[in-house]
Structure 1
């Protein structure tokens, strides 16, 4: 699932929407929705570029995974702090700074000549997104007057997620077919236009100097990074390697220190009071594992169809389009059913569909045909994802006051975003171990023999077993979510009210 920026109640209190001309409103809509489109596109096209990128830069399997996880770790780990920076120093200022950093990092990605430069630039992209993205939707609330104008802006902003997901598959495939570098370089002119237009189209909000929990953000990000490093590098360096053991231990220790810091912080990123409800804890667990499924599934299926089936990047992108339609159709149905059916049954049903489909998909090999097998499988998995993921964010904010909707929505988004790289680290370790146990070798497929390539394909499909396990865990966690359909319906109305006030 693509990032949805966080807005807190302070988004409405720290800046009042004032009358603007129609032209200014149109430019503001273009700026804010453009940022959302750029972030969604970047997340989609990166998966399609993994195979050619790994081949050209001679990345190991671990290095290939880091192209995705470095971005997601920085984005997820710093997202809550990014929202607070907008509150403290002005949203327009931080939005422009974040977009500028994201654009500069995209340029570095496109010019990368080795693994270290590319992974470092991807992490910098994540930092830029963590600063810009949480302020974007909040700026909608402070730029547009409550009522039809703001509703239209929010609708356009939200639509960019769907448009970006489908456009990213087609445009990303086409750009990658020319060169993987263009999926990053295309962000440069887009980012520059957004920055220039933002300077004139957006109004600065008043700042509220709050204590920033910088230690908490750094500890959480480094702790997750240590665990992901250990899990990602374990199959290649060896599980007994001092670097692997040291990273895992350091990650656990840092996360433990993070919890201690949060208990004493004046303005903690993770208020423990929000976790007193067991239903909500179960919701966050389900969100975390659902995020792991989506993040890992996209990466390994993209690799399988390109490396094993021989699809071009454009063909791979087009092959994923049914997933977007399946997800969209199920999401629309799930959104309506959530107010009538207990949300846990929607999540469980979606999880069962995902688990069964992924286990079946794990039996595929190089002889599989797109029609009907892959087409139907991609469509059905997308439907399962859409059915499961819509009720979960609503459960995260069910039964709470209006002032808690923002923080809880943000934590739900962080859980989903961090579930991706952590899940990919575990599932990637399983896939690489499976490949090596069958006589394969990690690295670019261009250097592999036929037998090694077959082993690589087995590893990619074994990753679907890992995705199925994560989907099953999400479904089991959902059984402990006891929110009623009435509470979810109230949460839907509360979210709409919070966005349109």
Structure 2
């Protein structure tokens, strides 16, 4: 049953915590995270069906990621003030309705707008999933629940591509969006009975912080995507980029002065969390852009069907399954730095291998290896970093911390896709997302993967420099 309004640390009358509670929370997070990648495998068909350009096609993914990442901090704060389950349900309702509209879209702008609305709904629900999990479980149970959550979050990137391929082949690209509707309705029916409402914390919304951060990120990404068609000398591009950077700088100033900031800067004061947030910004820049580009290479150059292209990512899922199951043990034995560094070394190697792509590249000879390495890398990075960040946060900051964590991931994914798709689109120089020569596709992707190699190496350097001492899992568990 629903709880009555609560504030501070008062007890909350709520359903008992069970395995079903964990299943609902994790399943919802899986649905939200899947939507960041499930459309990727359908991109060639979406581009052909609605008439997207190569640069414009990136907005099918980025509209969702930017709205998701840009509003996550507001969603986290809303959950703290209004009640996390309440905001969670509102977010799922919006996400479900927007999924219906996206699946019925007839023009590029209709799809992009609906995808942005999906992102807004996910931004309300997303922070509450991790916050509800953190407050619903304690001690060893919390650590295990966080491990399950982290594994699901990481696997969603690959599962989205596989599921998208199956759905696109058996039905159409529209069903990769429409499938969210029955799942969302089921969550709306079950959550009030099996997910406890959290205590509410008094306060007000930091709208200035929410607007400066969201608009700033959107402006920067838009400017990066625009360079593909207009170049860096374009006045609109430069003005938008400078304006975005100024807004992000203003966001920091606003948060320093705000009585109740949307992103408490104290979350970045602790070294472990600050380094973790930086890593979770850089890693999705590599992994999401890899998926965005390779899924097109498989279909445009290697002529695989959407189903075949989706299934081609199974090695990534297999690698992730192996390391996500062993990451907690490795973290407890070796600490955060060695575990995460090993994963980032694999990620850098995968990106460098991908930079050798050409028209002569075969799946077995040049795609399978990087996929497997990325899968292995993700489990070694995401599990320890999630635990390192969330296990050091006070309960009253759980919503804000989960919002910052997911914001960095979504923003990193959007930035990575924007940068690499801009490099790719500028190289192919086509007005059609699907009518591109094989040589141009391979050359554009090769240039993009060189950039992703640099980003992966930077993430490794941050880890090696940031975690100066061995940090064991037990030191993070309260």
Question: TM-score normalized by structure 2?
Answer: 0.88
Partner of 2:160: 168
Asked whether the equivalents of residues 41 and 164 of structure 2 are also in contact (C-alpha less than 8 Å), the reply is: yes
Confirm whether residue 114 of structure 1 aligns to residue 99 of structure 2. Answer: no
1:134-173 → structure 2 map (5 Å cutoff): 134-140=127-133, 160-161=152-153, 164=156, 167-173=159-165
- Give the distance between the partners of 1:238 and 1:81, measured in 2 at CA: 33
Equivalent position to 1:229, from 222, 230, 237:
222
Partner of 1:465: 450
Asked whether the equivalents of residues 390 and 402 of structure 2 are also in contact (C-alpha less than 8 Å), the reply is: yes
> Secondary structure in 2 aligned to 1:245?
helix
Extract unaligned runs of 5+ from structure 2. 1-5
Confirm whether residue 489 of structure 1 aligns to residue 474 of structure 2. Answer: yes
**How much has 1:421 moved relative to structure 2?**
0.7
Equivalent position to 1:359, from 352, 361, 381:
352
Cα distance change of structure 1 residues 381 and 11 upon mapping to structure 2, 3 Å threshold: farther
Confirm whether residue 95 of structure 1 aligns to residue 88 of structure 2. Answer: yes
Partner of 2:74: 81
Structure 1, 183-192 or 88-97: larger mean CA deviation: 88-97
**How much has 1:153 moved relative to structure 2?**
7.3
Cα distance change of structure 1 residues 390 and 19 upon mapping to structure 2, 3 Å threshold: closer
Confirm whether residue 128 of structure 1 aligns to residue 128 of structure 2. Answer: no
Asked whether the equivalents of residues 36 and 161 of structure 1 are also in contact (C-alpha less than 8 Å), the reply is: yes
Partner of 1:195: 188
- Give the distance between the partners of 1:131 and 1:266, measured in 2 at CA: 22
> Secondary structure in 2 aligned to 1:479?
helix
**How much has 1:485 moved relative to structure 2?**
2.8
Confirm whether residue 375 of structure 1 aligns to residue 368 of structure 2. Answer: yes
Cα distance change of structure 1 residues 381 and 27 upon mapping to structure 2, 3 Å threshold: closer
- Give the distance between the partners of 1:205 and 1:377, measured in 2 at CA: 42
Confirm whether residue 238 of structure 1 aligns to residue 247 of structure 2. Answer: no
Asked whether the equivalents of residues 59 and 443 of structure 1 are also in contact (C-alpha less than 8 Å), the reply is: yes
Equivalent position to 1:454, from 439, 447, 468:
439
Asked whether the equivalents of residues 7 and 199 of structure 2 are also in contact (C-alpha less than 8 Å), the reply is: no
**How much has 1:164 moved relative to structure 2?**
4.8
- Give the distance between the partners of 1:94 and 1:180, measured in 2 at CA: 30
CA deviation vs aligned residue, 1:21-42 (integer Å, no higher than 9, x gap)? xxx9676555434322321332
Extract unaligned runs of 5+ from structure 1. 1-9, 495-501
How many residue pairs are counted as aligned between the two chains?
472
Equivalent position to 2:465, from 480, 488, 499:
480
Cα distance change of structure 1 residues 25 and 235 upon mapping to structure 2, 3 Å threshold: same
Structure 1, 148-157 or 315-324: larger mean CA deviation: 148-157
> Secondary structure in 1 aligned to 2:381?
helix
Cα distance change of structure 1 residues 272 and 119 upon mapping to structure 2, 3 Å threshold: same
**How much has 1:99 moved relative to structure 2?**
0.7
RMSD after superposition = 3.1
